[in-house]
């Protein structure tokens, strides 16, 4: 059943009709509860509120899989503007970006030049840049870009996705980088990735534990209280300082728990997406952990704002019912 539900949300994330509808009707559908605004000014105000509560942020200018140079150049300029906004407003925040948004699928040198401008500007302001990892087809190319910059810049890090067989090899190679560890949210072939939740969960925990013991700084991206409690016990048992790791959650998810962790003295970072291209991002978060839908329905959506999410919920339930027959 887990695979059926996961595949359903991945299918929704790739539906162009729903994606266009989400851009048009997003705010009316309650998208403001899962994205921190559609422009930089709105995002800045959202980040300021989180900072005031002791929460750091990583900012994602939404968009990926770009195949036109003008779109990639516009994304680059937007990210440069975000960097300036972080600096000018003295925000406790850094950048998460996707190489495919900046031309990875267009031309290697074009993408490299775009990234160079971004990483260089961020380095001038001592702002961290996280290279988000995408699907397997773009994985090695993204790591190659990271390698290219690592010889010159020290303000970069990346993401390790637990569902890939190669994840343990990658986490060892990049142990000296600041790493965000996630489960993974794309549909991948069984030749390269674990397909079952139990296998992914097991590898996820093993990767977290290994990097906490051997790495520099670990960002643990999860909404699962069982994982969080496991990490709490693990760091206490191994006397790992709280300044060696942070918990991460998505903007709008488990807000009460975010604040609870801060009160308990843990470092916390909220993943803050903004922009109009939010639909595919959100559907993949549901694919990654379908329980996220329940969290949002409980704390965010009402009868007036459930049209698009209602489609997802109906599909989720249909998948369950179909599987039981």
Asked if residue 285 is part of any domain, the answer here is: no
Q: Which pLDDT value is given to residue 57?
A: 98
Asked if residue 142 is part of any domain, the answer here is: yes
Specify the pTM: 0.82
Asked if residue 3 is part of any domain, the answer here is: yes
Considering the domain architecture, whether residues 76 and 91 belong to the same structural domain is answered as yes
Whether 170 is a known active-site residue: answer: no
Q: Which pLDDT value is given to residue 277?
A: 74
Considering the domain architecture, whether residues 198 and 309 belong to the same structural domain is answered as no
User: Which residue's structure tokens are 């919920």?
Assistant: 313
Considering the domain architecture, whether residues 10 and 42 belong to the same structural domain is answered as no
Q: Which pLDDT value is given to residue 17?
A: 64
Q: What is the pLDDT of residues 125-159, one digit of tens each?
A: 999 999 999 999 999 999 999 999 999 999 999 99
- Closest to 114 measured CA to CA, from 161, 148, 159: 148
Q: Which pLDDT value is given to residue 24?
A: 62
The CATH number linked to 232 is: 3.20.20.220
* Structural domain total, the chain: 2
Considering the domain architecture, whether residues 161 and 25 belong to the same structural domain is answered as no
Considering the domain architecture, whether residues 5 and 128 belong to the same structural domain is answered as no
pLDDT by 10s per residue, the chain, length 325: 556 666 666 656 556 666 666 666 655 555 667 789 889 999 999 999 999 999 999 999 998 789 999 999 999 999 999 999 999 999 999 999 999 999 999 999 999 999 999 999 999 999 999 999 999 999 999 999 999 999 999 999 999 999 999 999 999 999 999 999 999 988 899 999 999 989 999 999 999 999 999 999 999 999 999 999 999 999 999 999 999 999 999 998 899 999 999 999 999 999 999 987 777 677 766 665 556 566 555 554 444 444 444 544 444 444 443 344 4
**Which residue among the candidates 60, 132, 135, 277 is catalytic per the annotation?**
132
Distance between CA 243 and CA 221 in Å, rounded?
16
Whether 180 is a known active-site residue: answer: yes
- Find the domain containing 298 and state its range: 1-32+290-325
Q: How many CB atoms lie within 10 A of CB 298?
A: 8
Q: Which pLDDT value is given to residue 33?
A: 74
Distance between CA 128 and CA 119 in Å, rounded?
8
Report CA 213 to chain centroid distance, whole Å: 23
Considering the domain architecture, whether residues 160 and 306 belong to the same structural domain is answered as no
**Which residue among the candidates 178, 180, 254, 285 is catalytic per the annotation?**
180
Tell me the CB-side half-sphere exposure of residue 57, using CA atoms within 13 A: 28
Considering the domain architecture, whether residues 69 and 2 belong to the same structural domain is answered as no
């Amino acid at each position: 059943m887990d695979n059926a539900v996961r595949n359903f949300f991945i299918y929704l994330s790739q539906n162009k009709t729903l994606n266009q509808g989400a851009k048009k009707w997003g705010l009316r559908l309650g998208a403001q509860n899962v994205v921190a605004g559609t422009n930089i000014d709105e995002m800045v105000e959202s980040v300021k509120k989180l900072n005031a509560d002791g929460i750091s942020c990583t900012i994602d200018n939404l968009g990926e899989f770009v195949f036109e140079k003008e779109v990639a150049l516009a994304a680059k300029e937007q990210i440069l503007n975000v960097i300036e906004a972080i600096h000018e407003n003295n925000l406790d925040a850094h950048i998460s970006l996707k190489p495919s948004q900046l031309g990875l699928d267009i031309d290697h040198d074009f993408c490299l030049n775009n990234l160079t401008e971004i990483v260089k500007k961020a380095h001038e302001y001592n702002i961290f840049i996280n290279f988000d990892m995408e699907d397997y087809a773009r994985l090695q190319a993204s790591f190659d870009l990271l390698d290219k910059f690592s010889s010159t810049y020290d303000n970069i890090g990346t993401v390790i996705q637990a569902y890939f067989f190669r994840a343990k090899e990658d986490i060892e190679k990049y142990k000296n980088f600041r790493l965000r560890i996630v489960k993974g949210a794309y549909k991948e072939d069984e030749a390269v990735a674990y397909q079952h939740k139990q296998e992914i969960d097991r590898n996820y925990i093993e990767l977290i534990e290994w990097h906490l013991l051997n790495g520099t700084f670990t960002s643990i991206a999860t909404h699962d209280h069982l994982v969080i409690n496991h990490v709490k016990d693990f760091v206490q048992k191994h006397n790992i300082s709280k300044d060696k790791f942070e918990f991460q959650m998505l903007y709008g998810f488990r807000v009460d728990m975010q604040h609870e962790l801060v009160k308990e003295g843990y470092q916390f970072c909220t993943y803050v997406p903004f922009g109009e291209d939010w639909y595919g991002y959100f559907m993949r978060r549901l694919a990654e952990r379908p329980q996220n839908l329940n969290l949002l329905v409980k704390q965010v959506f009402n009868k007036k704002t459930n049209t698009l999410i209602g489609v997802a919920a109906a599909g989720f339930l249909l998948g369950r019912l179909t599987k039981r027959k």
